[in-house]
Every structure is written in structure tokens, then in C-alpha cells.
Amino acid sequence: MILPNKHIQISNSLLNLGAIILDNISGTQTVSLLWDKVRGLSDVRNFERFTLGLDLLSILGLIELKDGIIRRVEK
């Protein structure tokens, strides 16, 4: 489910979802604003997958959530 393989298409993988979410993070914004930006995209599908994508990005150290504000971590 996280990575694509012969049974899971890239569009169904969380890695793809994380990339889509990361592309839509500009500056600092709230979770609600980010959800409003990506909710209409076909790969996002629902709020559960959106939160799984955010979890993956957070675990990988690519985003940071502090006081309700999401921002990209620049390395």
C-alpha cells in the first residue's frame, strides 16, 4: 500500500499520494486549507487517505506540524 508493486498501481500507493500532497504545500498553511486544496484530486479520494499521506510525510521528515500549521521541512 505504501509503495507500488505488481499488485498496487502507483496511483493507489501512499508514496504517490505523499508526493501530491507535498506539491500542494506552499509556505505554511493549516490542515484544513491543505485539505481544501487537494480534496478534488482523484488520487486523494478521501480524508482518511489524506491523513495517511500526511502521516507518511511526517514519518519521512518531509513536513512538520506545529500549532496546527503544516510546513515543508527544507533540508
Domain that residue 57 falls in: 10-72
Query: Is position 2 within any domain?
Result: no
Question: Does residue 23 fall inside a structural domain?
Answer: yes
**Is 68 inside a domain boundary?**
yes
Answer whether residue 3 is part of any domain.
Answer: no
Q: Say which residue the cell 500526511 belongs to.
A: 54
Q: Is pTM, for the whole model, over 0.85?
A: yes
44 in any annotated domain: yes
Domain presence at residue 1: no
Quote the number of domains for the chain: 1
Query: Would you say residue 1 has pLDDT above 90?
Result: no
Mean pLDDT of 16-36: 95
Distances (CA, A) of 11 to 44, 59, 65, 67: 9, 20, 25, 31
DSSP label at residue 40: T
